[in-house]
């Protein structure tokens, strides 16, 4: 091992040191978020702010639970809505985008080029530009104050379809033709060949979709009026405005960690698959 270290050139040592410094710098916000959730009030309002907590406490989480238990809608209801909507939306987006990507990549049909062009055009629209059309669709279908109002706007995901189509394009046509010669149908090819080979892309779509749905506030603001149908993200955004005094800061610190943890866990589980997707997307 000492010999391998000695063989490292000076430029490589400098590069490794630079990348390590960048990685440590990028970890600072995450470390701050974890420590901030356990800071007492006197440390939350220190100036200049400190990264590490000196006297950790669970008081912030206790205040959050007391506040939500005293309200008409408990925090568990918001959390249940967020988990249910995020899980169903993510699974739906994976199924729809994978099937659409498979058809666009490996099948020939009329208007295929036009459909792909519409998908590419949809990628250029900012979410704010489609807020009114989405509201009109949800309202005309009578889906307000339902879980479908949270789920439906996310199912049609141009980013997911484009990513899956580009990834499935790299699957050799000879492999699929060999399966067809053996008598395999489209459903068998899709479930037994395409899905396993596109696992990295599926993992990437899972991370992107879950993060977008779990942190979304628009659906709870526009499509629901019942408090029992709103999500945890909406409750977090309204927390600081509805809670007076310094208690809002302590609860916001605790809730910020609760909102961040699911995304961190999901990313750590699928990070290798996501990196594989980026590598394969660049290889033509």
Taking the C-alpha atoms of residue 280 and residue 189, their distance in angstroms, rounded to an integer, is 21
Mean pLDDT calculated for residue range 194-213: 86
- Using the CB atoms, write b or e for 75-96: b if 16+ within 10 Å: bebbeebbeebbebbbebbbeb
Neighbours of 211 (CB within 10 A): 16
List C-alpha distances in Å: 17 to 7, 10, 24, 25, 101: 16, 11, 11, 12, 41
Confidence of residue 284 (pLDDT cuts 50, 70, 90): very low
For residue 17, pLDDT over 70 is answered with: yes
Q: What values do phi and psi take at 248, rounded to 5?
A: -65, -35
List C-alpha distances in Å: 253 to 80, 105, 190: 21, 46, 45
pLDDT tens figures, 127-155: 778 888 888 888 888 888 888 888 888 88
Taking the C-alpha atoms of residue 280 and residue 274, their distance in angstroms, rounded to an integer, is 10
Q: What is the mean pLDDT of the chain?
A: 80
For tokens 């939306």, name the residue. 89
DSSP label at 128? G
Taking the C-alpha atoms of residue 96 and residue 88, their distance in angstroms, rounded to an integer, is 12
DSSP label at 57? -
Give the chain's domains with CATH numbers.
Answer: 2-58 (no CATH), 62-281 (1.10.3720.10)
Q: What per-residue confidence (pLDDT) applies to 36?
A: 81
Which has the higher per-residue pLDDT, 110 or 65? Answer: 110
Mean pLDDT calculated for residue range 204-219: 87
Q: How far apart are the first and last CA of the chain?
A: 37
Confidence of residue 85 (pLDDT cuts 50, 70, 90): very high
Q: What values do phi and psi take at 217, rounded to 5?
A: -115, -20
8 Å CB contact between 170 and 280: yes
8 Å CB contact between 166 and 281: yes
pTM: 0.77
Neighbours of 273 (CB within 10 A): 16
Confidence of residue 57 (pLDDT cuts 50, 70, 90): confident
Taking the C-alpha atoms of residue 229 and residue 190, their distance in angstroms, rounded to an integer, is 35
Most confident of 87-101, 108-122, 175-189, 192-206: 87-101
Q: What per-residue confidence (pLDDT) applies to 41?
A: 74
Taking the C-alpha atoms of residue 119 and residue 161, their distance in angstroms, rounded to an integer, is 8
Nearest to 106 by CA among 203, 179, 196, 171: 171
8 Å CB contact between 53 and 39: yes
Confidence of residue 264 (pLDDT cuts 50, 70, 90): confident
pLDDT tens figures, 60-79: 787 777 766 656 777 778 88
Taking the C-alpha atoms of residue 111 and residue 101, their distance in angstroms, rounded to an integer, is 15
């Amino acid at each position: 091992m000492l010999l391998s270290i000695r063989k490292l050139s000076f430029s490589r040592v400098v590069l490794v040191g630079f990348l390590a410094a960048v990685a440590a710098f990028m970890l600072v916000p995450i470390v701050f978020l974890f420590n901030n959730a356990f800071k007492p009030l006197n440390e939350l309002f220190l100036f200049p702010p400190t990264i590490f907590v000196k006297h950790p406490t669970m008081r912030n989480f206790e205040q959050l639970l007391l506040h939500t238990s005293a309200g008409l809608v408990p925090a568990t209801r918001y959390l249940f809505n967020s988990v249910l909507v995020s899980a169903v939306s993510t699974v739906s987006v994976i199924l729809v985008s994978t099937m659409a990507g498979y058809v666009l990549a490996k099948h020939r049909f009329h208007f295929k080029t036009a459909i792909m062009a519409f998908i590419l055009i949809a990628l250029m629209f900012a979410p704010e530009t489609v807020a009114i059309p989405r509201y009109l669709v949800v309202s005309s279908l009578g889906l307000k104050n339902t879980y479908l109002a949270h789920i439906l706007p996310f199912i049609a995901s141009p980013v997911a379809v484009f990513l899956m189509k580009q990834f499935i394009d790299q699957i050799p046509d000879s492999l699929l033709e060999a399966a067809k010669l053996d008598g395999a149908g489209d459903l068998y090819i899709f479930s037994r060949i395409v899905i396993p080979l596109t696992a990295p892309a599926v993992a990437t779509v899972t991370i992107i979709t879950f993060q977008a749905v779990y942190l979304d506030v628009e659906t709870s603001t526009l499509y629901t009026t019942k408090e029992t149908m709103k999500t945890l993200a909406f409750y977090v955004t309204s927390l600081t405005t509805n809670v007076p005094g310094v208690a809002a800061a302590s609860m916001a610190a605790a809730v910020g960690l609760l909102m961040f943890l699911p995304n961190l866990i999901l990313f750590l589980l699928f990070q290798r698959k996501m990196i594989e997707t980026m590598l394969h997307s660049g290889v033509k």
